Structures are given as structure tokens and as C-alpha cells.
Amino acid sequence: MNEYRVTIKDIAEELGVSTATVSNVIHGKTKKISQQTVEKVQEKIEESGYLPNMAAVLLAQNTSKIVCIVLSNDAKYENKMIEDPFVSGMLNYLSKELDKNDYFVMLKEESDINAIARYASIWNMAGLVLIGFCAADYEKLRRNMHIPFVVVDSYQKDVHKYSDVGIDNIEGGFVAGSYLIKMGHEKIMFLSDNDEDCDHDRYVGLTNALKEAKIPFDKKDFKMLSPFKEERRKIYEKLYSELEDYTAAFAASDMYAIEFMNFLQEKGVNIPKDFSIIGFDDIPLASMVHPALTTVAQNLELRAKVAVELLVELIHGTTEGRMALLPVTLKERGSVGEKR
């Protein structure tokens, strides 16, 4: 096996041009080189299998084409954030969008916001996309780092020199609540493992729908779950004992909606004849379970596209940061029925 590595000098000698000419073509500095020579060099580079040192190329261009997607490694995610259907879906679409814009993707899980600024500088990153951190983290990172970054769901009322792409969670909660009310449900429990950020807004949207319909909703109808599976099972047992007080549940995520639906079915509860459930996100699994889950859908492909557009704006200095709030839609399936 021939392990000989082709060099710039080899290509230059074979074509009868200078090594500087070959180097300039590789680094995109072709203004003073004829198109014929550029094409000839590019053809020979491809034919020879020459592999440039990308670090050297980026250094010579005085720019970076690396974008790091940083996921929060907070303990509440049980070191499984990348397995979350929302996160994995975003990673898929973000990777595709960044590739379309000629950026290389780096993936990093991190719990220390201070560490992000250090390795972003070491790698000379063009920008970052952050998922799962809190609002205070973003402001702290902005103060300590000048590299552009975009946040997925910052839940800030304003952004300062970074951009945010979110969805209208209050409207999503309102849509879910209005649909349940239209189907005759008035006793609705809300399921979430927190009362912050997007889950809080989804809860607010639900209560807005109930207020509009003049239906009372007590804070006790907010059923706090645990982020830990074994503890949730105990909570579901308690909720099962309270089931006669409710006809439907709105879960802040499809995963909790599906998990609770499976639990109830194990207990012999017929969904949606005996009890209705609606989720939020429209993850792929939502359409695969039985009955298929009615849910409030967000468009992950659009979110990724807008996130990359916002990041490119920051990288090119055409904006100091802006917010994008994307719409949601209702997906009617089989887990919600009319109240009997």
C-alpha cells in the first residue's frame, strides 16, 4: 500500500507553476490568478487526492468555519440530553443547515458555562448554538466571550448581542386548552416536571383558554412530575387514584404524554374513551403509538433553518442580535375524544 502523501510542491512541479500559486488556490486567494490556472490546479488537487491541513487553511484565511452545538449537561437531564427526541431532532436539522452554509459542526455537552468561552477561543470557532442553558448563563457567556452565538429558547424578553429562536409556547398552551374545551373537557390536569420557561408558558396558555371559556382552574390541577423515571411512576400511581376528578390531561411534552398514556393503558384505562391526553412537540414517536398522540407541533426543521440564519447574520456582523418567535400548530390524532 502506497502511503506517500502528495504535497503542494509535488502539484506545483507537475503543473509547472509556483508553490505560492497552488497554495493561493487552496486558500481561496485567486483574484490575481487566471481562471484557467485555477481550474487546472483544482483539477490536479482533486485528481491527486491532496488533503490540506484544515487548521492551516482556516488560519491562512483568518477565519473559522467551525460552529459548535453546545448541549447543557445539567444533572436534571441524567446525562441523556442527546437522547431527547427534541434535541436529537434539532441536531439533525442544525447539522444539515450548517453544512449547507459550508460550516463544520462540532458537538459538545457542557455543564460549566465558563468552559464554553475557553474552548470556543481555543478552537477559533465562528459561532455557537446553545441548547438547554438558563437565561443567566447566556448573559454571563456574552460578557465573557465575543464569539457570536444563537440560543434555542432563551426565554428572555430581550437579547443582548446574541440571537434567540423560540416558539410561541403560550399560544401552544392556548391551542391545546381550546381544543380540549371544544371536545367537552373542563376538568384538565397539566403535567410537567417544572414551572419555568417553556413549560410555564404552556401552562399559562392553558389557563388563558380556560379563563376565556369561564372554566375554573385551580393550581392543584398543575401536577408536578419528577425528571427521574422511577419517581414519576409513583406520581402516576397517585394521579391514577385522582383520575375520577378529571377527564383529560395536557402534558408539557410528548414524552410525558406518551409515558402517562402507556401507564393508564396498563391500568385498563381506555384512551380516549375513558380519558383524553394531549402532548406538545410532535416528536416522531407521537404518530407511532396507539392511539396516535394528539399534540401541539413545532417545526424543528424551520427552527434549525432560522437558528442558522440568525447565526450567519451575527458572524457577518449584520445584526447585534434579534429574537425569532415561530408558530405552532395542532395535530389532531386519536388520543383525544369527546367527553362522554
pLDDT band for position 2 (50/70/90)? Answer: very low
Assigned CATH class of 169-298:
alpha beta
| 3-17, 139-153, 168-182: range with lowest mean pLDDT | 3-17
Residue 155, judged by CB atoms within 10 A of its CB (0-12, 13-18, 19+), counts as middle
Q: How far is CA 310 from CA 1, 95, 153, 317, in A?
A: 47, 15, 13, 11
pLDDT at 75: 61
Asked if the peptide bond before residue 272 counts as cis, ω within 30 degrees of 0, the response is yes
Bridge partner residues of 331 (DSSP): 295
| 79-83, 188-192, 271-275, 306-310: range with lowest mean pLDDT | 79-83
Query: 8-60: which CATH architecture?
Result: Orthogonal Bundle (1.10)
Asked if 66-167+300-325 and 169-298 have one fold, the answer is yes
pLDDT in tens, 63-121: 678 999 999 876 666 667 788 888 899 999 999 999 999 899 999 998 888 888 888 88
Q: Where are the domains of the chain?
A: 8-60, 66-167+300-325, 169-298
Q: How far is CA 291 from CA 33, 188, 259, 306, in A?
A: 64, 19, 13, 33
> Mean pLDDT across the chain, nearest whole number?
88
pLDDT at 42: 84
pLDDT at 47: 79
Answer whether residue 62 shows pLDDT above 70.
no
Determine contact, residues 125/148, Cβ cutoff 8 Å: no
pLDDT band for position 187 (50/70/90)? Answer: very high
pLDDT in tens, 233-249: 999 999 999 999 999 99
Cα gap 323→151, rounded to integer Å: 10
Answer whether residue 317 shows pLDDT above 70.
yes
pLDDT at 1: 38
Query: 66-167+300-325: which CATH architecture?
Result: 3-Layer(aba) Sandwich (3.40)
